[in-house]
Amino acid sequence: MNGSAPAPSRLPAAILLPGAAALAAFAQLLLLPWDPRSNVPVSPGSDTLTTGYTWWGTALFAVVLAALAWAVGRWYRTGAAVLVVGGVPAVLLLASFLAHEPDPDGFAGLWPTSWLSGAVLMLAGTALVAGWAGVDLPRTAQALLVPLLVAGAAALSGFLWESVASDEGWIARVVSAVLASAAGYGLGRVLRVCGWDARWSVALTTGAVLLIAVVDSASGPLWGWAPPDVTAWLVTVTAYVAGTASAWAWWTRT
């Protein structure tokens, strides 16, 4: 006996993962509203508006996800927990947003940021709990948690800089390109410190921006909104590629 605790035996993935995914989906559908808009009628035809979210439903949903993340992280793998426990509700949340056109209140176009915030919170929280349950938090944080947060930051900032670039005029596009390049550079440095190589770092930041671009572009065919500004997104994506790559070039020279 060397006094060390034995590693927990792993349950069969064929049982654990589908069960966790089903429970996570059921918890979301039961505890969170399918209509994510903040102002919906309390009943059909009512002039009284409310939100379907409740503090107890949100809190209980978080507890259920934490329990499922702990179980999968303890008895299987942290990465699997992120996919089935955090990923399934994130996809359902996106589906709920796409199923309900936002109210035209001046902030309707910001709905992708609401989905992104919720998705990153679920994915990162799942990674944190599952990594702690697996007694391997430092390595888990480097392998999963940090990239998730970096991807979320890239997607959110990319959405904001694209909004700047979509304004008419070359000055707005230049400003957007500079800001996006700076963001890509900073995120690239974070990934470099965490041991990522240049190619995967560029792929992560660029992929995150492309993801939010695809999500944002879905509003056109679904709700008849104006099509996305392809040039603005192209400027933003190119700037993130250049920014992240330049961060790597600077680190290589020094």
* Three-class DSSP labels, 128-139: HHHHHHCCCHHH
- What's the confidence (pLDDT) of residue 75? 86
- What's the confidence (pLDDT) of residue 236? 94
Mean pLDDT calculated for residue range 235-248: 93
pLDDT over 90 (residue 86) = yes
- What's the confidence (pLDDT) of residue 41? 53
pLDDT band at residue 7 under the 50/70/90 scheme: very low
pLDDT over 70 (residue 146) = yes
Least confident of 125-134, 182-191, 231-240: 125-134
Mean pLDDT calculated for residue range 95-119: 86
- What's the confidence (pLDDT) of residue 10? 57
- What's the confidence (pLDDT) of residue 242? 95
pLDDT over 80 (residue 152) = yes
Percent of residues, the chain, with pLDDT higher than 90: 54
Q: Are 202 and 148 in contact (CB under 8 A)?
A: no
Mean pLDDT calculated for residue range 66-73: 93
Looking at per-residue pLDDT, the higher value among 223 and 196 belongs to: 196
Identify which of 127, 12, 8, 23 has the alpha carbon closest to the alpha carbon of residue 68: 23
The beta-carbon contacts of 162-165 under 8 Å, at least 24 apart in sequence, are 162/213, 162/216, 162/229, 162/232, 162/233, 162/235, 162/236, 165/229, 165/231, 165/232, 165/233, 165/235, 165/236
Give the C-alpha separation, 208 to 186, whole Å. Answer: 15
- What's the confidence (pLDDT) of residue 50? 56
pLDDT over 90 (residue 95) = yes
The rounded mean pLDDT for the chain is 85
Mean pLDDT calculated for residue range 110-134: 92
- What's the confidence (pLDDT) of residue 1? 39
